[in-house]
């Protein structure tokens, strides 16, 4: 096994994350007993007990369950609901619960308990508030009914989101506030120290197969270097959200395995289609033609396959259209487009017919550390193509605010199109008539709106579903309300003592129940 970094460097990195004494107290794997807890480290903090705030931590740790789960391609599958059906008019959904499901306090998972959790989840910012729900009610001990005011086919996908996780009645105060997490998953919480740690053990009341990993410990560490060192030294068994430099180093040293999966998240440039200059489709197309996507993916993400040829990555096969011409760099074509639009290229950049210089501001944020670096690369590539673009790095919340007040010009962000497993709900939010905080700004297309409305209403056979998705994707590709830059790959450092590790492309679960220690 490769030796860990010198203690001085390791201590500085770990203390920089606020975890110095705690993490340094954990000896390397070779000194650990075989029954030690599996330690997961990532960047995600536990910001509270409210499902909409931190539910994703508890669902990923398989402490809580949702009514529905999802296949890797986003299609629904059973979870707490063993079966479901919809009325012919699409207005009533009926669910039959898993008969043996119990909460961690041994109480049965009843339809009444499920209805209570889901009704509380209807309050924004929970995703269930997006659905036109009239009522959620129990119709029997294990039977649940959801009534809608209009058909909404993404409902099943919303019911797989972590903000709709189902909690036992004992979890709530009388006001509906969550006081503790009592779920129904294969693991129960044994210790919770928000925002950085949670410990779990196998639940004796789980109605499924008993997991091979008996105890799990989760730790949030803000710095990628810290997470990498914890994996390399054997302190962490699974380390998520690693930066490209750390991944390269870990691969070279060979002390851990690296597991990877492409996820449906795309680095995109949001353009304000009402801003001077950006109203012209030819300018948006020219900005796209100036981008060297393979170069950015290769140099900054260390993975040339992540160059985005279209909005959706191949991970969600039903939403990736192989027939679309790939987005690519073409300096000759961009100059022709700009000149057709009446623009003249001078020493300072492109000027319109009135002689006004096209100046643009690109906003981004450091929450995802690759974004400011990509923004710098885009600025240089655009400068080479004659576009004068300044970069502003602020808070992630600045972009929605700029979208709402109309001051947005360009913004660089990483959009997860599988916030819920079926992208329809997210796309309807981003590209509806009014656009969205992370979607279109002052752009709307009758074709896109019609396709989205048909997808939301449902009632489509397989061929009709594919046709409406194709209409939508083609329109977004042609009109560029967003410019795709790169796709994402989740890379995880995995201890060589672990077997059965499988990464979820939808990032819903750590899939702990499939893991085991090597003999």
pLDDT tens-digit map of 469-483: 999 999 999 999 999
Whether residues 420 and 506 share a domain: the answer is no
Per the domain annotation, does 63 fall within a domain?
no
Helix axes 224-232, 7-16, angle to 10 degrees: 140
Q: What is the CATH number of the domain that holds 338?
A: 3.10.105.10
Claim: this prediction has a pTM higher than 0.85: yes
Whether residues 456 and 310 share a domain: the answer is yes
Domain total in the chain: 3
Whether residues 421 and 310 share a domain: the answer is yes
Containing structural domain, residue 448 = 263-489
Q: Return phi, psi of residue 338, to 5°.
A: -65, -40
**Burial class of residue 137, CB neighbours in 10 A (0-12, 13-18, 19+):** middle
Whether residues 219 and 316 share a domain: the answer is no
Per the domain annotation, does 56 fall within a domain?
no
Per the domain annotation, does 55 fall within a domain?
no
Whether residues 420 and 298 share a domain: the answer is yes
Whether residues 392 and 461 share a domain: the answer is yes
**Across 154-175, average pLDDT:** 96
**Across 273-287, average pLDDT:** 95
Whether residues 117 and 20 share a domain: the answer is no
Whether residues 209 and 285 share a domain: the answer is no
The Cα 137–Cα 119 span in angstroms is 9
> Average pLDDT over the chain, rounded to whole?
92
* CA dist list (Å): 426 to 9, 72, 403, 476, 481: 42, 17, 17, 14, 15
For residue 5, the model assigns a pLDDT of 40
Whether residues 195 and 154 share a domain: the answer is no
Which has the minimum average pLDDT: 2-6, 100-104, 115-119, 167-171? 2-6
For residue 21, the model assigns a pLDDT of 42
């Amino acid at each position: 096994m490769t030796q860990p970094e010198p203690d001085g460097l390791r201590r500085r990195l770990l203390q920089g994350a606020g975890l110095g004494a705690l993490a340094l107290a954990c000896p390397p794997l070779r000194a650990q007993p075989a029954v030690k807890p599996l330690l997961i480290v990532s960047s995600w903090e536990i910001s509270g007990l409210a499902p909409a705030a931190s539910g994703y931590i508890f669902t990923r740790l398989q402490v809580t369950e949702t009514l529905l789960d999802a296949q890797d391609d986003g299609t629904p599958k059973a979870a707490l609901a063993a079966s479901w059906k919809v009325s012919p008019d699409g207005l009533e959904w009926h669910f039959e619960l898993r008969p043996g499901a119990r909460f961690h306090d041994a109480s049965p998972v009843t339809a009444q308990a499920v209805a209570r959790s889901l009704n509380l989840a209807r309050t924004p910012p929970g995703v269930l508030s997006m659905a036109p729900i009239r009522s959620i009610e129990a119709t029997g001990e294990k039977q649940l009914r959801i009534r809608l005011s209009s058909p909404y086919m993404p409902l099943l996908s919303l019911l797989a989101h972590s903000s709709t996780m189902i909690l036992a009645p004992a979890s709530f105060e009388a006001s509906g506030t969550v006081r503790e997490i009592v779920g129904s998953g294969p693991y129960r919480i044994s210790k919770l120290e928000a925002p950085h740690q949670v410990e779990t053990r196998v639940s004796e009341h789980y109605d499924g197969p008993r997991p091979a990993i008996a105890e799990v410990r989760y730790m949030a560490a803000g710095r990628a270097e810290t997470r990498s060192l914890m994996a390399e030294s054997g302190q962490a068994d699974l380390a998520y959200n690693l930066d490209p430099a750390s991944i390269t180093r870990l691969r070279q040293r060979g002390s851990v395995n690296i597991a990877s999966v492409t996820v449906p998240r795309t680095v995109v440039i949001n353009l304000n289609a009402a801003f001077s200059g950006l109203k012209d489709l030819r300018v948006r197309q020219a900005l796209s033609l100036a981008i060297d996507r393979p170069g950015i993916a290769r140099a900054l993400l260390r993975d040339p396959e992540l160059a985005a040829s279209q909005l959706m990555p191949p991970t969600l096969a039903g939403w990736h259209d192989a027939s679309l011409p790939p987005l690519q760099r073409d300096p000759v074509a961009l100059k022709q487009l700009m000149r057709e639009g009446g623009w003249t290229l001078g020493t300072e950049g492109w000027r319109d017919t009135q002689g006004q210089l096209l100046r643009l501001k690109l906003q981004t944020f450091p929450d995802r550390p690759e974004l400011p670096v990509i923004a710098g690369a885009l600025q240089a590539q655009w400068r080479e193509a004659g576009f004068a673009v300044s970069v502003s790095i602020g808070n992630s919340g600045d972009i929605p605010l700029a979208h709402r007040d109309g001051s947005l010009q360009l913004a660089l962000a990483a959009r997860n199109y599988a916030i819920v497993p079926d992208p329809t709900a997210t796309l309807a939010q981003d590209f509806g008539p009014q656009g969205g905080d992370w979607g279109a700004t002052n752009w709307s297309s009758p074709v896109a709106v019609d396709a989205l409305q048909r997808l939301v209403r449902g009632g489509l056979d397989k061929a009709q579903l594919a046709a409406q998705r194709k209409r939508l994707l083609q329109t977004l590709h042609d009109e560029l309300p967003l410019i795709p830059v790169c796709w994402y790959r989740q890379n995880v450092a995995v201890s060589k003592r672990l077997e059965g590790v499988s990464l979820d492309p939808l990032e819903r679960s750590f899939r702990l129940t499939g893991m085991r220690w090597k003999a």
